[in-house]
Structures are given as structure tokens and as C-alpha cells.
Amino acid sequence: MKKRVFSGIQPSGNPHIGNYLGAVRRWAPLQSEYDCIYCVVDLHALTVYQKPEILREKIFDTVAILLAAGIEPEKSIIFVQSHISQHAELAWILNTITPISELERMTQFKDKAKKNKVNVNAGLFDYPVLMAADILLYNAEGVPVGEDQRQHVEIARVIAKKFNNLYGDTFKLPEAIIKKEGARIMSLSDPTKKMSKSDDDPLGCVDVTDSPEAIKEKFKKAVTDSGTEIIYRPDKPAISNLLTIFSSFSGMAIKDAENKYQNTGYSKFKEDLAEVVIEGLAPFQKKYADIDKNQDFVLEVINSGAEKARQLAEPMMEEVRKKIGLD
């Protein structure tokens, strides 16, 4: 049998190219190697206030994005987290064995709390436990994530080990599946910060659904380093980030890209980079536009995926309940 992988994506807006390169684009090829489960993690999205009518739309759109990225319902399970109540049930049970000290050291909580001081809620603090429940509920052995999510997979392993020690072998210990190249795409307006939908400067983030004109404009205005040398180096974070994006979309090694543009300036390189990104996103954007017109198909995928996920989740919860004395 194939090993199982689980990964989730928040319905907090169209993914940007960092999400696309670091996660979404990588998910489709995994279908040939693994038993794949992909989840729209709408409960996680609630750690930041969401307008209900917009959240409903974004959940739907995110499923369409997964389908456009090549996730096939015949090969993978695609579902919405809140449709499977066992996620919340298992999260509460795991809460009762998770040390506060483990959650306090999570760097993502610290970073997000600084950015969102007016809404540092318990859900934001407890986010890793729900993520652990997402993974462990399906006995996933692999979790394709970006480098910034590695710590969340590690705490899922800690929680699984503690449960297994207390109640007997129940959960498999998941491993993070991380591709180094292109795993961390930085803002076009501030290369010291990760690309984010919440970037203060909208020009810093390239959405996967951006028009060619918007993509050209964003790369044209992308910040660069002093000098004109196009080289990947720690003291040139801006151009290094652009080279990473160029390599990820073109398939050209960074060293080869450096050689190709060694005698050109930033302007020419950024023009070519924009074209490479536009060309790279074109098949996805076409498929997304087609799927977006077929709302009934998307709804069918959501309902079918929920049923498949429930058939896996409930037997696991029955085992957990029995082991801890609730059944």
C-alpha cells in the first residue's frame, strides 16, 4: 500500500506564488507516489476574523484552486475540514495531553501575535494542536509543508508519542515532506519578510490569479539590491529572491540564470522573470477559469470528499474514544 500524506490549505484568499511553489504545485505529483488527503482548513482560518459570506466563497474557491492545480478527486480525497466533526473532537482530546510549554515555543504564534495584537486569541495559540489532529486523524505518514511549518509537524509527532505512551500504539508519527528549492518565497517589496497576503504593500505579493498586466507591474516595481549584479548571495536578498522565483518557474538552475543575465541589468531580468511567471501560471489559470464556471462539479467534489474522509476519520475516533475510556 502507498504511504499516506495529508496537507491543508487555508481559505483565506487566492494563494500567492509562494503558496503555489511551496505547496499547491507540489501536491499533484505526489498523487502518483502516495495516498493523498488534501483539506481546506476553514477552522484554522477562524483564528482571524472572517466575514461569513466571504469565507463561504473562499472555501468554494479554494477547492476549485486545488482542482485547477491538478488534484484529482479520483486519486485524492479533497474535503473541507469543518464538514468532519472528528477534527474538533480529536483536537480537544489532544489538548488535554499537550503541554503549554510546547505551544509557547511555537515561532509562528509569536510572529502572528506581534502582527495581530488586537486579536491574540486562544485559537491562534492552540492552532498546532488542531493541525496535529488534522494529521493524526488519518494516520498520515507524510505532510508536505513549507519550511515555516516544519515546527508544526514536529509538535504533532510529540503529541502522537505522548498519546501512544499513555494509551498504547494508536498514531503513526508523521514526517515533514519539504522541498528546499523555492520553499520560501519572500515579499517583492521587502525581501526580509515572507510573501504574504497580509503584506502592507499589495505590490509585494503575486496572486496565482493575477492578470499578466498585474504580474508585470509587480515585478517591474519589485525592490532590488544596490549595484546591478544578478547573483544569488546572502548580501543580496532581493535579487536572490527573484532568482529563486525565476528558477522555480523556469526550471533553470539558479547558477545558469546568473550566467544568462550576468551582463544585463535588473530591468531586463525582471521583464523576463514576469514573462516566465505568466507562462508558468497560464495552464493553471485556464483550468481554474473553466472549473470556476462549473459550480455543480465543485460542490460534488466537496460532498464526495467529505464522505470519503468521514469513512477514515470515524474509525480512528472510535479507537481513540475506546482507549481513553469514553466508549
Cβ-Cβ contacts under 8 Å for 124 (sequence gap 6 or more): 47, 109, 112, 113, 116
* Dihedral Cα 59, 116, 90, 157, nearest 10 deg: 110
CATH T-level topology, domain 202-289: Tyrosyl-Transfer RNA Synthetase (1.10.240)
Q: What percent of the chain has pLDDT over 90?
A: 76
Domain boundaries defined on the chain: 4-183+295-324, 202-289
Q: Give strand ranges (E) for the chain.
A: 4-9, 35-40, 76-80, 142-144, 175-177
Question: In this predicted structure, what is the pLDDT of residue 106?
Answer: 86
Active site includes 114?
A: no
To the query of whether residue 51 is one of the catalytic residues in this protein, the response is no
Query: How far, in Å, CA of 291 to CA of 19, rounded?
Result: 20
pLDDT at 181: 55
**What's the pLDDT tens digit per position in 281-320?**
999 999 999 998 999 999 999 999 999 999 999 999 999 9
**Whether the Cβ atoms of residue 137 and residue 60 lie closer than 8 Å to each other:** no
54-71 average pLDDT score: 94
Section 166-181 average pLDDT: 89
pLDDT of 119 reads 74
* Average pLDDT of the residues of the chain: 92
SS3 state of residue 209: coil
Task: Give per-residue pLDDT as tens, 121-143.
Answer: 888 899 999 999 999 999 999 99
Predicted pLDDT of residue 14:
76
Burial label, 227 (beta-carbon count in 10 A; 0-12, 13-18, 19+): exposed
pLDDT at 107: 81
| Pair 317, 89: CB distance under 8 Å | yes
Active site residue 197: yes
Give the per-residue pLDDT at 265.
Answer: 87
Residue 54 pLDDT > 60, yes or no?
yes
Residues facing 76 on adjacent strands? 36
- 2-49 pLDDT tens trace: 999 999 999 976 789 988 887 788 899 999 999 999 999 999 999 888
Predicted local distance difference test score (pLDDT) of residue 183: 57
**How much is the pTM?**
0.88
User: Does residue 182 carry a pLDDT above 60?
Assistant: no
Residue 184's Cα: distance from chain center in Å? 11
Instruction: Name the residue with higher pLDDT: 109 or 252.
Output: 252
Q: Which CATH number fits domain 4-183+295-324: 3.40.50.620, 3.40.50.2000, 3.40.50.720, 1.10.10.60?
A: 3.40.50.620
Of 4-18, 202-216, 273-287, the least confident:
4-18
pLDDT at position 68, please? Answer: 95
* CA distances for 319 relative to 156, 168, 192, angstroms: 18, 11, 46
More confident of the two residues 305 and 113: 305
Query: Cα–Cα distance between 176 and 250 in angstroms, integer?
Result: 26
Active-site entry in 75, 179, 194, 260: 194
* 256 pLDDT more than 90: yes
- How far apart are the C-alpha atoms of 36 and 231, rounded to whole Å? 38
Give me 247's grid cell: 528558477
Catalytic residue among 197, 220, 287, 323: 197
Q: Please name the residue that has the C-alpha cell 527573484.
A: 242
Which of 112, 172, 216, 218 is the catalytic position?
112
Give the strands of the sheet with 142-144, arranged side by side. 76-80, 35-40, 4-9, 142-144, 175-177
Size of the chain in residues: 327
Question: Among all chains, which residue has been given the C-alpha cell 473541507?
Answer: 80
Q: For the ranges 28-32, 166-170, 270-274, which has the lowest average pLDDT?
A: 28-32
pLDDT of residue 180: 63
Buried b / exposed e along 87-111 (16+ C-beta atoms within 10 A):
bebbbebbeeebeeeebeebeebee
